[in-house]
Chain A
């Protein structure tokens, strides 16, 4: 499986409304060194988990930012990276009508991320979902238990090394393999 390149479109300028936010982030969290990248007009701030709650609180409360709406919180697994588990926070500012993505990466050995349920209570279900599917532990979450999978389920189904599963089908002499072995990445030729 090929590694996803982090988006690096330095030419993309963030929307004007985001400029004071990014300046504020740089000034206030200089040591945190959030990495700012733009891609397809979307701005991503990658930061260390140690600063997550501080940055999140500031983004929610600062008049220039006012990201009161945590739109989405999702996990992604990049098995080729050492810090393979990635949590994305999609923020939306109702006042300024701009979006911002925060990104935190952790390892499988130490999958701890501070919970943002204290900043945005809506993160409750989202964090349970990311825990359920990727095994990220959100420290400080009030009730971090599985949400969609059965409570006694083993493993984290949306990690890339977790198989999709499925059964072979034989029909009229034709053999149809299960879906996860049926198609090859990059096309039929590159088996």
Chain B
């Protein structure tokens, strides 16, 4: 807490702000050396240079009582005794169970009411965009899948769509259908985590258990198909790395059937539950215009009544063949977002069934040896992953094939120069990839427009005027995944 307060103090001592700071916005800029505050020490600031223009921040800074942690009763007692004002700045997170990861919220409170909320991010920044520039185009997949860890298949697909657009190639039909299949399963899993964690944060513990239980079944399916529960690196440029193993289709069909019934179960638990209604209805409301202004997409935007879905607006991977609806709600509050996400899970199940019914045959990776991944992997009943035919071909029959295999795996393929911006509809909204190539075997620049990053900007506008407990519901309705926010 003391750190935030010190920031306020810095702002107050600045003579002329370079750019008009928004009143009350906690500064995260370079710390100024003067006015070092020790915890528990009330500030005695010099008068501001232009006394007639005392900003709100400066006024607040004079009232600051800096304290670090301790028993809440003691903190409030001291604030009452020493502070002139009842305004209080507290830090929620980054290590807080209700912030969906390492999100830090700087909240200004007047009593129980939020005056201002500022999300502070970056705690999970791993430099993925920079790292990709030093890896081949195929290796890039293993990085992007680790960004938004609740929707890895979407990250992989969006990245691969961008690389394919630069290459001017199209993956085989079966690969496209398989991508849709796994994306929609992934969407259900992601929405289930949202439902589970939001339920947990609002005290609906049984929903938490059910949500994670069903998500586990999807992760089992994903593990069967890709080998990993998360971070799959299964979608590759110009295809997918592996076909469905035997028996997976039946497993998915069984899951879809069970999941329908379970979605109904969630509805009986929540939809008309008076406590759930009380905690979610009218909370975190933003008008549709405000949402568009703030660049919000996905379920949050659809919960304001706008049926904008990139799967319909700019179909990719063959979404135009599938019959599904874009659920919308009109409340534009936490409850409406809950309604939309639950309806989207049902629509995703519809798509999954349609993909299974119309799954085309054929290869899952492009035939062009200049682009397609050369290694042929087929997990046999003995648990070994190599394709004996392929190993025999490169090791015993063709020296050229061996050289090609080696060169493709180590240096990869070259991608024609240019830049593209490709988007997919991820569970959280528009996931965009701005990919630049300079014609070499390494990406020149990969920038990710992560929907959580953009949607997080609604935190401030939504939370103003809410009670602290409702902030949890409002922030949760954004469904931020900090791995994607911070990248």
Contact = CB atoms under 8 A, between A and B. Distances in A.
Interface string A120-146: 111011100100000000001111111
Contact of B121 (A40, A72, A143, A148): A148
A148 B125 contact: yes
Contacts of A169: none
A144 B28 contact: no
B119 to A, nearest CB: 9
Q: Per DSSP, are chain B's interface residues mostly helix, strand or loop, or mixed?
A: loop
A3 B131 CA distance: 20
Nearest to A77: B445
Contacts of A112: none
Contacts of A5: 417, 438-439
Nearest to B22: A142
B419 A187 contact: no
Contacts of A7: 417-419
B313 A122 contact: no
B166 interface: yes
Contacts, number: 151
Nearest to B407: A187
Nearest to A181: B134
Given A72-B434, A179-B135, A188-B410, A151 B29 contact: yes
A147 B30 contact: no
A51 interface: no
Interface in A1-60: 1-5, 7, 39-40, 42
Contact of B31 (A70, A75, A151, A183): A151
B311 interface: no
Nearest to B25: A143
B436 A76 contact: yes
B122 A71 contact: no
B26 to A, nearest CB: 10
A150 B454 contact: no
A68 interface: yes
Interface string B99-122: 000000000000000000000011
A158 B444 contact: no
B293 A72 contact: no
Nearest to A80: B438
A164 B128 CA distance: 11
A153 to B, nearest CB: 10
Interface in A142-173: 142-152, 157-158, 164
B255 interface: no
A97 B306 CA distance: 14
Contacts of A121: 293-295, 457
Interface residues of B, number: 63
B273 to A, nearest CB: 34
B108 to A, nearest CB: 15
A1 B28 CA distance: 35
A2 B439 contact: yes
A179 B295 contact: no
Contacts of A122: 293-296, 454, 457
B457 A40 contact: no
Given A2-B440, A121-B293, A122-B294, A146 B420 contact: no
A99 interface: yes
Contact of A147 (B122, B134, B421, B445): B122
Given A121-B293, A179-B131, A152 B31 contact: yes
Given A72-B421, A186-B440, A188-B411, A145 B27 contact: yes
A149 B122 contact: yes
A81 interface: no
B434 A151 contact: no
Interface string B421-436: 1010000001010101
Contact of A125 (B31, B130, B457, B487): B457
Contacts of A68: 292-293
Interface string B287-309: 00000111111000000001010
Interface in A62-82: 68-72, 74-77
B411 A147 contact: no
7 contacts: A69-B292, A142-B19, A148-B486, A149-B125, A151-B29, A179-B135, A186-B441
Interface of A: 1-5, 7, 39-40, 42, 68-72, 74-77, 88, 90, 94, 97, 99, 101, 120-122, 124-126, 129, 140-152, 157-158, 164, 179-180, 182-183, 185-188
